Amino acid sequence: MNTMDTIPSVKPANAKIKIIKRYQNRKLYDTQQSCYVTLDDIAKMIRTNEEVMVIDNKSKNDITAATLTQIIFEAEKKASQYAPLFTLREIIQTGNGSISNYLAKLGAFPQDYMQRQAQAQAAAAERASTDSLKENLEQRVANAAARATADQTAKSVAEKATTLPGLNDDNTPILPGSSNQGFNS
């Protein structure tokens, strides 16, 4: 076995990650190219060594692994030759049907990989929850400000409606015969 086969390709630190948004209607949108893409397009990006991250637009969760798994599944459906039945049965028996669990039991991942993945998912779920609470609070503050502005506007309109035109405290009309004017009658 060649040692180069076991070393993953290293990306430069400045490699730009292409963000793909997945909408509720299952459409995939390339935010860099501003166009919709297919699973085949994402597979081509991966084959050309592009860094791709797929984000669920609603929850903001990283669903890259699930998307890549879907690409692999679709490729398997199109393949002219499937994996041997004994291997497929073994995956179902020992990995509970999960290829990831099966590969982890074979030692294909670093020992703490699955634990780190679970922690990362928990942290992402917590961030999503915090972001949701923050957005909810911001919306409530904006609604309260809009109500306060509307209340102030209504109060101002009501005050203007109850004031007679031409009469205010600064321009009190001068009436003839008034004792404070010093007029001689």
Q: Which residue has the tokens 């004994």?
A: 86
Between 118 and 91, the more confident residue is 91
pLDDT at 160: 66
User: φ and ψ at 17, to 5 degrees?
Assistant: -90, 130
Min mean pLDDT across 34-48, 84-98, 128-142 is at 128-142
What residue spans define the domains of the chain?
Answer: 15-81, 83-155
pLDDT at 22: 95
Between 126 and 1, the more confident residue is 126
Between 42 and 102, the more confident residue is 42
Q: Which residues of 132-159 are buried (b: 16+ CB within 10 A; e: fewer)?
A: eeeeeeeeeeeeeeeeeeeeeeeeeeee
Q: What is the chain's mean pLDDT, rounded?
A: 77
pLDDT at 99: 81
pLDDT at 79: 86
The 10s digit of each residue's pLDDT in 113-144 is: 767 777 777 777 777 667 667 777 777 777 77
